[in-house]
Structure 1
Amino acid sequence: MTSPLDGAVEAVGPTGWSLRPAIVDDAMALAFLELELFPDEAWTVFQLAEEIEHPDRRYVIAEESGTGEILGYAGIMIAGDTADLHTIGTARPGEGIGRALLGWCEERAREGGAGALLLEVREDNDRARAVYTRAGYAEIGRRRGYYRIRGRRIDALVMRREL
């Protein structure tokens, strides 16, 4: 297994950002971004650090070139022939960051031996659903009331793509 720092810059976006594997030192910055992007469901710094260090997880950071500001992140769990997208978030929607993060996760899943990637998305998250659909994901199930946000229950749509 290679170090998360091997090949630190893995992709460069068209508007001055790049992708790199996450390291545990990123956990605090990710926790703040989690609070900004997902205030009702944010993971803690401890959960994020544990995820980044876990041997069956792969996490990626999108950062501003030059400043190092974190613009997005994503993470997967590799479990045999199927991987699960655990999280994905971007601070700048519409710049292609989310799609690049998803592509990075798909490639890591393939490298880890997965033939498919599963994900869950809130039924009311139209932007994310559109990104996943354009990327070739299809809805294969529904988890009723999976998300509990401010007293509301929102269904999770389960989506899958063969890699």
Structure 2
Amino acid sequence: MPQDGAPQNGAPGDGAADWALRPATLEDVEEIAFAELELFPDEAWNVFQLAEEIAHPTRRYVIAADGAGARGALIGYAGIMLAGDLADLHTIGTRRPGEGVGRALLAWCETQALAGGAQRMLLEVREDNARARAVYTAAGYREIDRRRGYYRIRGRQVDALVMARELTAEE
């Protein structure tokens, strides 16, 4: 799992610039909101919702940014809610799929969940999002439930798959 501010590399041979993770701040809200609109236009959170999330004491949000200093352009973000021995992945998105950004964001969230006392992580993923489902399955998440019609995308309803994984300190 990469440390905060540690540079990451893109996929071999892809010419991608280094990138790094760092905790999100209120200064990041506007850029995250733009990414939300780009990545999730039908269900994007607004700047006020994002600011409330980032400022909330039981939430942990992270940014993936171009450049080793982690102050470059936002390429991904994620956030969790802590609730006792349970953590809930609220959001995760990447503008550079296939480069490991999403996996690094997820690992950061799991580390934060463990540090906050969580023993289990829950998440919801759109049934039709094969890429995200594959990442979560590879990370050890298993489907435990289905929420019918949970997402409303361009006039149609899409089920959410609820996935969970036990977290251990050895990770």
Match runs of 1:3-152 below 5 Å: 9=5, 11-15=6-10, 16-65=18-67, 68-152=72-156
Q: 2:19 and 2:4 mapped to 1: Cα distance?
A: 13
User: Residue 140 of structure 2: SS of its match in structure 1?
Assistant: coil
Aligned residues: 156
Please tell me the root mean square deviation across aligned C-alpha atoms, in Å.
Answer: 1.2
Equivalent position amino acid for 2:27 in 1: D
- 5+ residue gaps, structure 2, are 11-17
> What's the TM-score, normalizing by structure 2?
0.89
Given the alignment of the two structures, is residue 159 of structure 1 paired with residue 163 of structure 2, yes or no? yes
Contact 2:66 2:73 in 1 (8 A): yes
- Identical residues among aligned pairs (%): 70
Q: 2:7 and 2:80 mapped to 1: Cα distance?
A: 21
Equivalent position amino acid for 1:87 in 2: T
Q: 2:136 and 2:4 mapped to 1: Cα distance?
A: 26
* CA displacement, residues 30-82 of structure 1 (integer Å, 9 cap, x when unaligned): 00011000111100011111100000000000000066100000000000100
Equivalent position amino acid for 1:139 in 2: E
Q: Stretches of 4+ moved more than 4 A in 1?
A: none
> What's the TM-score, normalizing by structure 1?
0.93
Q: CA deviation at 1:148?
A: 1.1
Which residue is equivalent to 1:3? none
- 5+ residue gaps, structure 1, are 1-6
